[in-house]
Amino acid sequence: MRVAVVAAGDPGHVFPAAALTAALTARGHDALLCTGSHWLPALARDGVPAAGLPLPPPNDDPDGVRRLRATSRRLAAPLAGLLTPFAPDLVVADVMTPAGGLAAGLLRTPWVQLVPHPLQDPSPHLPPSGSGLRPARGPLGRARDRRLHRITSRQWRQGEQETDAERARLGLAPGSRPDARLVAALPALEARRPDWPADAHLVGPLEWDPAESDLAPPPGDGPLILLSATTVAGAVSGLAAATLGGLAGSGVRVAWTLLEPPDGELPPWVSAGPGRQGPLIDAAALVVCGGGHGILAKSLGRGRPVVTVPGGGEQRENADRVRRAGLGVRILPQRLTPGRLRAAVATVLGDPRYAARAAAARHPAGARTPAERAVDVLERVVEHGHRTEATATAETPSATANRSSSGTTPSGTRGPGAVAPARSRARSASSPTDTRRTPV
């Protein structure tokens, strides 16, 4: 099986795509990751086959959704040209790189969408993603959600129409949707919903780290805190300063992971620079982070509670779900101060229930890994040549998620299951930042 994986943009989208490509290669398939050229040295070091994405043409449209669609259309033909010699049997496109789905259409190749965060399809049973509203518990709340769903559905349909217009400019038929979706999200952060889409496979988080060495934690025996500044555009500024200022003199140690070493001197209880996050999280008592799904999945998947200061995109929704599940404390960006950061860390460290709930969200030992589940789905798409429907099986991560006290796990969580003939076209996932956006 020959699979091209396409992902550009923030590390939170590129890293899961790299993990999937590595898993495909380990299974014996021919895989190629098309991504930003600056990631190629780290990918080559880890034996992940990769090629640089063509550079998109300049686009200064102030509307981010419109800019993404137009850029994707212009990138589709060069990307298809790049993939033609590889002759993929399947294209996997990240949700924020819709050019991958368009290129698959030009190549007349099946495609699968990779969603590296909780599913954000509108539902009459849930408040809109990113609204900050708690899932309904009574008739008034359910009526609220149904009314809001009517609004978001109209925006969703508008996004589909705009997507079809871009497809038409490439000579592609309207309405093409992925043959399956890989939802690479932590099950404990998924919302309970009776209308889980049939084409969405909840495989769990896919993890890859570009760091080639470990960052030594500071000396001492105080609790270790991992500080991870968010990787998305529009990140909260001042998180590191508030953390280091707020935790000074508290007796904790801080390991601060960065893609590049920081400028200036740091106090002896802080170490900072590039380094793999996994080993540090294993040694940490908690994690201070923005709220991107990648770092949350790494932390909670290892049983570590978090303090989140969410930025843009899906981070606010993720942080709200963490807070409601009792897996950590959220500080809104506009309320971030060193004192509040210190108090939040003290709250989590001082209450063992946070650590206990985080431990319940861990990936079960001995279960098939998320990467193995994801490759299973892709193999079935190619083998059967048509849309796959996810079914609840013993391999789904729902049992683990249900042990957390969040109440946010999908009922009958869908994971890798048998392939069934498509009954209807399920809508594809919206973007993390706008309910109008639908992938092509």
230: Cβ contacts below 8 Å, ≥ 6 apart: 236, 239, 289, 290, 291, 292, 295, 311, 315
Residue labelled with tokens 């106090």: 267
Q: Mean pLDDT over residues 96-122, rounded? A: 93
Q: Shortest CA distance to 104 belongs to which of 116, 119, 123, 88?
A: 88
10: Cβ contacts below 8 Å, ≥ 6 apart: 96, 231, 232, 233, 292
Q: What is the pLDDT of residues 204-244, one digit of tens each?
A: 999 999 998 999 999 999 999 999 975 444 455 689 999 99
Q: Do domains 2-204+368-402 and 224-360 have the same CATH topology?
A: yes
**pLDDT grade for 386, boundaries at 50, 70 and 90:** low
Lowest mean pLDDT among 77-81, 361-365, 428-432: 428-432
Pairing type for strands 30-35 and 90-94 reads unpaired
CATH number of 2-204+368-402: 3.40.50.2000
CB-based burial label for 150 (10 Å; 0-12, 13-18, 19+): exposed
For residue 376 the two structure tokens come to 């299973």
Q: What is the pLDDT of residues 256-275, one digit of tens each?
A: 998 888 888 899 999 999 99
Q: At what angle do helices 315-325 and 293-301 cross, to 10 degrees?
A: 30
pLDDT of res. 405: 37
Is the pLDDT at 440 greater than 60? The verdict is: no
Instruction: Return d(Cα 92, Cα 22) in angstroms, integer.
Output: 13
**pLDDT grade for 25, boundaries at 50, 70 and 90:** very high
C-alpha radius of gyration, the chain, whole number: 21
Strand (E) or helix (H) holding 393: none
CATH number of 224-360: 3.40.50.2000
Q: Mean pLDDT over residues 370-379, rounded? A: 96
Q: What is the pLDDT of residues 278-330, one digit of tens each?
A: 999 999 999 999 988 999 999 999 999 999 999 877 888 899 999 999 999 99
pLDDT of res. 271: 95
Q: Mean pLDDT over residues 332-354, rounded? A: 96
Alpha helix segments (H runs only) across 108-260: 139-169, 239-247
Residue ranges per structural domain of the chain: 2-204+368-402, 224-360
DSSP 8-state assignment for residue 429: P
Pairing type for strands 111-115 and 180-183 reads parallel
For residue 232 the two structure tokens come to 């998305």
Q: Mean pLDDT over residues 111-127, rounded? A: 91
Q: What is the largest CA-CA distance in the chain?
A: 63
User: Could you tell me if 287 and 304 are in contact, meaning their C-beta atoms sit under 8 angstroms apart?
Assistant: yes
pLDDT of res. 414: 38
Is the pLDDT at 184 greater than 80? The verdict is: yes
CA distances from 200 to 86, 119, 196, 384 (A): 27, 9, 8, 17
**Within 13 Å of residue 179, how many CA atoms lie on the same side as its CB?**
26
Strand (E) or helix (H) holding 31: strand 30-35
CA distances from 387 to 77, 112, 307, 371 (A): 25, 9, 40, 20
Q: What is the pLDDT of residues 135-154, one digit of tens each?
A: 888 899 889 988 888 888 88
pLDDT of res. 421: 31
Q: Shortest CA distance to 406 belongs to which of 192, 117, 88, 252?
A: 192
User: Could you tell me if 105 and 19 are in contact, meaning their C-beta atoms sit under 8 angstroms apart?
Assistant: no
pLDDT of res. 408: 36
Instruction: Return d(Cα 103, Cα 32) in angstroms, integer.
Output: 14
CA distances from 248 to 184, 242, 270, 290 (A): 36, 10, 10, 20
- CA 186, distance to chain mean position in Å, is 9
Lowest mean pLDDT among 46-50, 118-122, 300-304: 118-122
Pairing type for strands 2-6 and 30-35 reads parallel
User: Could you tell me if 282 and 303 are in contact, meaning their C-beta atoms sit under 8 angstroms apart?
Assistant: no
**pLDDT grade for 388, boundaries at 50, 70 and 90:** low
User: Could you tell me if 433 and 207 are in contact, meaning their C-beta atoms sit under 8 angstroms apart?
Assistant: no
